[in-house]
Structure 1
Amino acid sequence: MTTAPPTPPDTDAVAFVAALRHLKTWSGLSYRQLERRAAEAGHVLPYSTAATMLGRDRLPRAELVAAFVAACGVRADEAEAWLDARVTIACGRPAETVRTTPNRGLRRPRWAFALAAALATALLGGASAAGAFIDDIEVEKTRTSLHLSG
């Protein structure tokens, strides 16, 4: 370990797990050795869990990332960068960052879609309650037809 450890990407889960694989290679440790070193650092990281984590392209849980980077020999400040990158991927980038990212176009935050759906539901519910969609009641009361007689 004469070189610096790899840095974590904060782009997506696939790149993050690929960087974790690179970190394992950088450490030069086996899965069993990682399990022992994690235990020495006060973490729980079964070797099978570490192997499964690196075999998938899903974002691992934060406690697994903390245990793994500690076992690989990453310093505390660098380990914090791994956890920060994981949070950024899991929660998404702030809206300002997403909007200014090149080649991604404008994206609306998720709350905007939820607000639009709630507003549409309220408007349709109000129109329905006001009778805008209920013509049968007026036909019954007035005993008329909605169709023009010819």
Structure 2
Amino acid sequence: MRKTTEEMYSPHFSKQEMQRSGMAIRLGIENQPGREEEENLRQLCLNVLEPLRMRFGRIIITSGYRSNALNKAIGGTFNSQHMRGEAADIHIPNEAIGRRYYLFIKHTLVFDQLLFEHRMRNGCMWLHVSFRQPPHHNRGEAMEMTI
């Protein structure tokens, strides 16, 4: 069944996908974006996630919107762009695919922040990408981080 446009931020990214959180479910934390955060999520999907999907096929979002309570519960930074609906974390199945995603975004798309993150303890990798809609300026800041 095709989702209605009210349930979608863009052709391939749903509201549910961009606010889903296993941690929020486990802890009983409400994780609903407001109107401004929803528009930010829509712009992130249209300007960054859709072009990435069109180039590489299906991508998996592991974290999109986070309420303040959820952000605190997972130990997110106090000023996380996830809380404003401006950021998403993308699952990276392996380093080669992660590099292709990273380079495509870095050299092709407008973005605010792009982080290729590696967790040394378990080898987990993900891309954090953010987008700010006008009048905000997108910094185009890209870096690799090991945590």
Q: TM-score range by the shorter chain?
A: under 0.3
Higher strand share: 2
Higher helix share: 1
TM-score, scaled to structure 2: 0.23
Greater radius of gyration (CA): 1
